[in-house]
Amino acid sequence: MRWRDARAGLIALAIVLALVEGCPIPPPHETLPWQQGYVSLIRPVQRAVMTPFAWIPRRLRFTQRFALFQAAEADRFRLEIRARTAGGEERVVFRAGPGEDGEYASVLTQRRVRGAWNPTDNPTSQYAPFTRWFADRVFRDHADVDVVTFRFARVHIEDGVPRDTGTSAFEVTRARGRP
């Protein structure tokens, strides 16, 4: 067999394997009822075809696994930061979302800073240090503020419009003079 034929066969095999591995089927916990039929057929075939070649992505560190058409989950979070004075007066210093309002919006929406607080289904590993850093900044800028509260309001996105659910998660409170 000539080298050209072997090379053509290897290229064809690589294309077929990429198509099989990259077949966009949802993970088991995300499979919708109407998808069950075809996913239950495709997943075992995909697994059987890819098993002999499973070492390739691990060893060479590449894969065709990615979400082709990614969409945000309908249930999301919106960061809200409130400052409270010794007299009990409370004000919002930042609220994420449409308009991104508050005096610190330009700092907090900057992509590198946003990465420290923007959660998926859990806060990022940088969330605790972020809350300390930002609370210290608010305390420095506002001598009357004694407490800064960070919370993620739960929102549900429907037809592109986020709606508050009235609940929150991942609340952190920082008090002036405390770590």
Cβ proximity of 109 and 118 under 8 Å: no
Torsional class of 61: left (φ above 0), alpha (ψ -120 to 50), beta (otherwise): left
| Contact present, 81 and 102 (Cβ < 8 Å) | yes
What are 44-82's pLDDT values in tens digits?
988 898 899 888 777 877 665 655 556 667 788 888 999
First to last CA, the chain: 72
Q: Which range scores top for mean pLDDT: 114-118, 122-126, 130-134?
A: 130-134
CB 164 within 8 A of CB 153: yes
| Cα separation, 81 vs 172, whole angstroms | 10
Mean pLDDT over each residue of the chain, to the nearest integer: 85
75 touches 130 (CB < 8 A): no
Domain boundary assignment for the chain: 3-60, 75-175
